């Protein structure tokens, strides 16, 4: 609900920003919804879950959405990796974002859920493309894949965003587990918890 989200963001603008998730199967209505969300309410991103449509991110269904995101200078965010709901997981292969990033080099892309079980694939895509980031939604530090933990702490320190997946996963749990299960330098922690998100979503704060 655009209006509800807009009211919530307006009430706590220092804590939240809007993400719109329209139905891409009615493409003109989808693009108008994105336009309204961004221009009228200041939303910062568009989210599409490819598994809902059983089509990979490279499907032509989604390309007008990417173009609209570039036009409006907002971030595109999507699910990568295995699906929790009982939908096909294959469309969540992170490698699909490689083609999207090549076709839309101006598009900022955030791939959610670490890309597990294809974490190495997700890391490769994020490392390759300046405009691709990974977030940790739905994963707790105790269970971060070792390859992701290494990426976060070293050569991927500018590419990883903290996330929880609230309300399914409360924010406090992954945050509180960081020190015990994923120790990091002050610089990496600062980037992971805030600075990378500011860049990825162009928050300007």
- Cα 59 versus chain centre, distance: 18
Banded model confidence at residue 1, pLDDT cuts 50, 70, 90: confident
Tokens matching residue 95: 């490698």
C-alpha torsion sign, points 5, 107, 49, 83: negative
Q: Report percent pLDDT > 90 for the chain.
A: 95
Is the pLDDT confidence value at 205 over 60? Answer: no
CA distances from 6 to 2, 37, 65, 157, 177 (A): 6, 8, 21, 32, 31
C-alpha torsion sign, points 101, 103, 106, 112: negative
* Helical pair 2-11 and 27-41, crossing angle rounded to 10 deg: 20
CB 138 within 8 A of CB 84: yes
> How much is the average pLDDT of 147-159?
98
CB 20 within 8 A of CB 76: no
Pick the closest to residue 138 from 167, 165, 118, 119 (CA basis).
165
Q: Please state the φ and ψ torsions of residue 85, each to the nearest 5 degrees.
A: -65, 165
Tokens matching residue 185: 């330098």
Instruction: Note the pLDDT of residue 84.
Output: 86
In this prediction the pTM is: 0.96
Cα angle 123-128-131, degrees, rounded to a multiple of 5: 95
């Amino acid at each position: 609900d655009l209006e509800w989200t807009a009211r919530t963001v307006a009430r706590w603008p220092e804590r939240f920003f809007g993400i719109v998730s329209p139905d891409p199967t009615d493409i003109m209505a989808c693009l108008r919804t994105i336009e309204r969300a961004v221009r009228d309410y200041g939303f910062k991103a568009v989210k599409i879950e490819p598994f809902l449509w059983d089509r990979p991110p490279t499907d032509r269904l989604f390309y007008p959405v990417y173009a609209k995101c570039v036009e409006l200078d907002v971030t595109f965010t999507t699910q990568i990796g295995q699906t929790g709901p009982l939908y096909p997981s294959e469309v969540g292969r992170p490698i699909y974002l490689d083609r999207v990033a090549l076709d839309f080099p101006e598009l900022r892309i955030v791939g959610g859920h670490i890309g597990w079980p294809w974490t190495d694939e997700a890391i490769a895509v994020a490392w390759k493309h300046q405009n691709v980031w990974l977030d940790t939604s739905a994963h707790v530090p105790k269970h971060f894949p070792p390859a992701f933990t290494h990426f976060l702490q070293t050569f991927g320190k500018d590419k990883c965003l903290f996330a929880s997946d609230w309300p399914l996963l409360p924010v406090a749990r992954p945050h509180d587990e960081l020190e015990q299960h994923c120790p990091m330098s002050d610089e990496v922690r600062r980037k992971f918890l805030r600075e990378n998100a500011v860049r990825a979503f162009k928050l300007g704060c």
